[in-house]
């Protein structure tokens, strides 16, 4: 059984013809209601400014609240668009990611699994800057809350989105309790994610060359992440982006549907021993790639939870 934090609210975050579009949540909803309708669906709460300020500057948060347009679009960066109803999506995406932490602590079960089906993505958002379609760093707010308020002492975030999660890395690079591992096309947007960026010994970057296929991906991921991280964790996160899929129009990595199953399986096998897993949607801009990649990821999460 997967616990899904999902809301129809995400249909109201209008970005026009941008690739991070309403179409994405339509495809995700179709998958969830077709294949996972019997699972547990929970409406996310709205995150408060106080909660978000655990990782973002309060002046930045105020600036976002004050600059939501009353009509048309506003651009927080050239790629990060707000329309009149966007704020509720921003707050729900953070809220659901944090609600999952509370749920995991309140539950009697060790192996709870959560998937936060939301938009916009968050892993590029910096402490005081909107970036790469995201305003607030959903996973970073959640992991910081889990670490400082809910007593999770060793947290692993695995980010297989095709872009490096610069925001997440920067927020945790000096925090020894939160490990961040990312595979991503490199060099590529946003420019960070070199293998030499190791933080406090808690950052593990796995750069992938343009054109990288399934075989090379599995080899590099094994060498740079699986073989390098040898710790026990009490909470596992996925920054689950599906834009490394071979069909994706924004990048040049050629993963197959099955690679999303593989990466989820190997991470769970090595690091998830009776611990909760919170997976948070990031990118994925080809609708078939998103549907099939996500379905492969979710099947493995479901199996873990049901064992
Ligand atoms: Zn991405």
How many angstroms is it from 107 CA to the middle of ligand 1? 32
Q: What positions carry a catalytic annotation?
A: 124
Distance between CA atoms of residues 124 and 190, nearest Å: 8
**Nearest one of 9, 7, 19 to 85, comparing CA atoms:** 9
Set out the domains of the chain in order of their start, with CATH numbers: 3-306 (3.40.800.20)
Structure tokens at 297: 């990821």
Please state the pTM of the whole predicted model: 0.98
What does pLDDT average to over the chain? 97
- What pLDDT does residue 109 have? 85
- What pLDDT does residue 300 have? 98
- 224-229 — which CB contacts under 8 Å span 24+ positions? 224/183, 224/195, 225/158, 225/181, 225/183, 226/266, 226/267, 226/270, 228/204, 229/156, 229/179, 229/181, 229/204, 229/270, 229/271
The per-residue pLDDT for range 77-123, each reduced to its tens digit, is 988 999 999 999 999 999 999 999 999 999 988 899 999 999 999 99
How many angstroms is it from 239 CA to the middle of ligand 1? 10
How many angstroms is it from 119 CA to the middle of ligand 1? 12
Count Cα neighbours of 156 within 13 Å in the Cβ-side half-sphere.
Answer: 24
How many angstroms is it from 121 CA to the middle of ligand 1? 8
Residue segments in the chain with a per-residue pLDDT below the cut of 70: none
Token match 């294949």: residue? 35
């Amino acid at each position: 059984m997967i616990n899904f934090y999902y809301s129809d609210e995400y249909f109201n975050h209008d970005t026009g013809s941008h690739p991070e579009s309403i179409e994405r949540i339509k495809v995700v909803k179709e998958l969830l209601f077709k294949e996972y309708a019997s699972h547990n669906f929970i409406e996310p709460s709205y995150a408060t400014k106080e909660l978000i300020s655990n990782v973002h500057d309060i002046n930045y948060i105020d600036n976002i609240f004050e600059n939501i347009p009353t009509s048309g679009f506003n651009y927080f960066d050239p790629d990060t668009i707000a329309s009149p109803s966007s704020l509720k999506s921003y707050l729900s995406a953070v809220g659901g990611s944090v609600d999952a932490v509370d749920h995991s602590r309140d539950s009697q079960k060790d192996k709870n699994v959560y998937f936060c089906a939301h938009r916009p993505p968050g892993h590029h958002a910096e402490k005081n800057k909107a970036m790469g379609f995201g305003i607030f760093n959903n996973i970073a707010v959640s992991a910081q809350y889990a670490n400082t308020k809910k007593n999770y002492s060793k947290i692993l975030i695995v980010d297989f989105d095709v872009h490096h999660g610069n925001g997440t890395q920067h927020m945790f690079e000096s925090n020894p309790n939160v490990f961040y591992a990312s595979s991503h096309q490199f060099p590529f947007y946003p420019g960070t994610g070199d293998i030499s960026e190791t933080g406090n010994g808690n950052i593990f970057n796995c750069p992938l060359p343009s054109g990288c296929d399934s075989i090379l991906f599995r080899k590099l991921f094994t060498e740079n992440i699986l073989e390098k991280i040898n710790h026990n964790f009490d909470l596992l996160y996925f920054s689950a982006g599906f834009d490394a899929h071979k069909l994706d129009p924004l990048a040049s990595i050629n993963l197959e549907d099955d690679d999303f199953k593989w990466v989820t399986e190997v991470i769970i096998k090595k690091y998830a021993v009776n611990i909760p897993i919170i997976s948070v949607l990031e990118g994925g801009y080809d609708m078939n790639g998103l549907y099939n990649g996500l379905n492969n990821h979710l099947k493995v999460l479901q199996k873990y939870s049901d064992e």
